[in-house]
Amino acid sequence: MPVCDRCGQDYEGFYCANCEALRSRNGLLAHQRRFIETWAAGLIDLRLKNSGGALHLELYDDRWHSYCGKPMFDTPDRTFAKDLPVDLCPDCAAVFAQIRQQVEANGGRAPMAPMAMPTAGA
């Protein structure tokens, strides 16, 4: 069984599924910068889902995952909000704040260059 050069884990097949999932998530988080820019301009609402007793912020263009990384397959229903709710999942709020800070550091526009992506609990 091959060992992944990046994470050091054994994997089956042609690529490390764990590293591929992380790469995909980082791409979706980078994609959120444009939506946060549009939200800050008041043109779109935030998408929220209540899952497992916690209120999570849904990723734009991926309604099945939250900012904190929790899968949202168990919750098809969502609500919309203009502002961040105070009872939002702390990890969702932290990741959102980090991405929003990247947008604000670029003059309120989504940066085009790749940037380090936040992770929940960071």
User: Using an 8 Å Cβ cutoff, are 110 and 36 in contact?
Assistant: yes
Predicted local distance difference test score (pLDDT) of residue 39: 93
Residues in the chain: 122
**Is residue 103 over pLDDT 90?**
no
In a domain, 63, yes or no: yes
Using 50, 70 and 90 to split pLDDT, how confident is the model at 118?
low
90 vs 117, higher pLDDT: 90
In a domain, 11, yes or no: no
The sign one gets for the Cα dihedral 111, 115, 118, 122 is negative
In a domain, 79, yes or no: yes
Instruction: Indicate the number of domains in the chain.
Output: 1
In a domain, 58, yes or no: yes
In a domain, 27, yes or no: no
In a domain, 14, yes or no: no
In a domain, 37, yes or no: yes
Q: pLDDT tens, 42-95?
A: 999 999 999 888 999 999 999 899 999 999 998 888 999 999 999 999 999 999
User: How far apart are the C-alpha atoms of 45 and 79, rounded to whole Å?
Assistant: 9
In a domain, 56, yes or no: yes
| Domain enclosing residue 62, as ranges | 32-122
